[in-house]
A and B are shown apart, each in its own frame.
Chain A
């Protein structure tokens, strides 16, 4: 997941932290739902040839994901969107990202 997040996230430095958070979130959520993302990652990992997605350099990973985003294969687009959504939601829901975009955060508890 970290390999995909490094490319999908607005800031790749946040990838290790957020990948871990998503893992933890999935573990505590609906077990049936939690199976889907790891399966998507497995498909991505093995589609990229012998060495695997996570071993590719950043530019090559980006190229793979761009290919999936506009793929003619519906399941590739679906997997891309699931990963994109998970990545950008985890990034922007996180208070660490708010200063950079000028969002002043929740009003309760102020």
Chain B
């Protein structure tokens, strides 16, 4: 067993959109920074484009992290760069109505919409954000837009942070071409180039000992993959916690920090996959896997924040596509015999912050009950998605509901109205967990203050998606970067 001591000015925990940015930004500003990441540094040449090899290397629990009742698959990166290594590279800022909502309902009013917009601009530039070009929109995305047009549902193509994309289609299991500009390719190397940033991978933080309102150290375990090979202790003047909305509250809970609200108010923003077979070649597994969306049914108001639903094209490699369908047995092979003709989309339905994260040793327990109102919106989203695919020429549509018959026309959607939507029967994915270290003024109902500092602790900030009082946006990479820049005083 190794026993290692580090000493630094600033210790950053987690290297994703929040932590990677913070470490790089602070190092460039002349501070001495130590960045701790639980996962490994997986380089482009190690990205084999093989699911069974990359999922264990890049994902939390190898992609097998679920809510406690098995209802939602919670996908998170566990590698240098965090979820920015395995995400769909969609760049979507926090809408102004959400900022108004946070100010009106949660008292989160320290920063102006202009400051949030300026932060979005800085972050977008740093990660090479640009609009997907029309020749980069694959057939799967075109079919979604086409179906949307037929039904009068507005849509568009995404902004993304790929530069020099070759269109291989493997974004979800790591870019082998260094085209997706994760924090591991942007903020972190820029910080390291200054000589001020040191990175330790395989370092899992377990607790933050504190006394008299100051965190005294960062303690944790050194890992070789999943095996504990040693312990470490970091002495730092300032600590930035950015382990994501599932693990940041866990670390605070283990340290008896954060007050009664820590771990509460979890949003998972679950998404349901709908796939369809077309009479033409689609090859959803090639090209940019998520190039287009339909947001004509999304709502956003200062009173309620983000609501309604949106549909987004999605491509997936065979294993992930099969897992996220509902089929099994010989029937599944029958459906997949024409894998090249299958297209897919995700129904993204913004939720209310009703879940929670609890500790079981080092493991999180994610409690996430569905609200009846949310389920009805999900039902509507699934039906709309099926109608969109049928309108764009699909022969068969596969709903994410265990046992639901193959849909061959709109009449087959009637049974959806009474169909039970139950955990582990309705297939759901979460890529945007948020809210478990909520920002606010009252230490009883929030964890961090309006400057992102943990209430009552002078040298600990949280800079990740856990601070959002409600769902920030339909995609969380840019919102987290906006928040991190504001928390660092960059704007």
Q: Do A and B associate with each other?
A: yes
What is the distance, in angstroms, from B430's C-beta to the closest C-beta of chain A? 15
Specify which chain A residues have a CB less than 8 angstroms from the CB of B414 in the assembled complex.
none
**Interface class of chain B by DSSP:** loop
Contact B226 A10 (CB under 8 A): no
Chain B contributes a number of interface residues (CB within 8 A of A) equal to 44
Contact A29 B70 (CB under 8 A): no
Q: Does A77 contact B (CB under 8 A)?
A: yes
Q: Does B195 contact A (CB under 8 A)?
A: no
Contact A10 B318 (CB under 8 A): no
In the bound assembly, the distance between CA atoms of A11 and B337 in angstroms comes to: 12
Contact B423 A74 (CB under 8 A): yes
Contact B330 A32 (CB under 8 A): no
Q: Does B301 contact A (CB under 8 A)?
A: no
Specify which chain A residues have a CB less than 8 angstroms from the CB of B170 in the assembled complex.
106-107
Q: Which of A11, A32, A70, A94 contacts B403 (CB 8 A)?
A: A70
Contact B322 A88 (CB under 8 A): yes
Specify which chain A residues have a CB less than 8 angstroms from the CB of B51 in the assembled complex.
89, 93
In the bound assembly, the distance between CA atoms of A84 and B323 in angstroms comes to: 8
Q: Does B467 contact A (CB under 8 A)?
A: no
Specify which chain B residues have a CB less than 8 angstroms from the CB of A85 in the assembled complex.
64, 323
In the bound assembly, the distance between CA atoms of A64 and B223 in angstroms comes to: 41
Q: Which of B50, B332, B424 contacts A81 (CB 8 A)?
A: B424
In the bound assembly, the distance between CA atoms of A8 and B340 in angstroms comes to: 22
Contact A77 B52 (CB under 8 A): no
Specify which chain B residues have a CB less than 8 angstroms from the CB of A98 in the assembled complex.
318
Specify which chain A residues have a CB less than 8 angstroms from the CB of B402 in the assembled complex.
69-70, 77, 80-81
**Interface class of chain A by DSSP:** helix
Contact B339 A88 (CB under 8 A): no
Specify which chain A residues have a CB less than 8 angstroms from the CB of B69 in the assembled complex.
74, 78
Contact A78 B70 (CB under 8 A): yes
Within 8 A of A (CB), among B301-339: 317-323, 327-330, 332-333, 336-339
Contact B319 A102 (CB under 8 A): no
Q: Which of A33, A90, A102, A109 contacts B339 (CB 8 A)?
A: A102
What is the distance, in angstroms, from A44's C-beta to the closest C-beta of chain B? 14
Q: Which of B61, B70, B318 contacts A97 (CB 8 A)?
A: B318
What is the distance, in angstroms, from B411's C-beta to the closest C-beta of chain A? 22
Contact A100 B318 (CB under 8 A): no
Specify which chain A residues have a CB less than 8 angstroms from the CB of B166 in the assembled complex.
107
Contact B52 A107 (CB under 8 A): no
Q: By CB atoms of chain A within 10 A, which of B320, B322, B327, B337 has the most?
A: B322
A102/B333 contact (C-beta < 8 A), A69-B403, A78-B70, A89-B51 known: no
Q: Which of A84, A93, A102 contacts B340 (CB 8 A)?
A: A102
In chain A, what residue has the closest Cβ to B425? A77
Contact B52 A62 (CB under 8 A): no
A68-110 vs B, Cβ < 8 Å mask (1 yes, 0 no): 0110001001101110110111111110011011110111110
8 contacts between A and B (CB under 8 A): A7-B329, A9-B329, A62-B329, A69-B402, A78-B424, A88-B327, A101-B340, A108-B47
User: Which 6 pairs between the two chains have the least Cβ-Cβ distance?
Assistant: A10-B333, A78-B70, A106-B49, A93-B319, A92-B318, A77-B424
Which A residues have a C-beta under 8 Å from some C-beta of B? 7-11, 25, 29-33, 62, 66, 69-70, 74, 77-78, 80-82, 84-85, 87-94, 97-98, 100-103, 105-109
Which B residues have a C-beta under 8 Å from some C-beta of A? 47-52, 56, 61-62, 64, 69-70, 166, 168, 170, 176, 226, 285, 317-323, 327-330, 332-333, 336-340, 361, 363, 402-403, 422-425
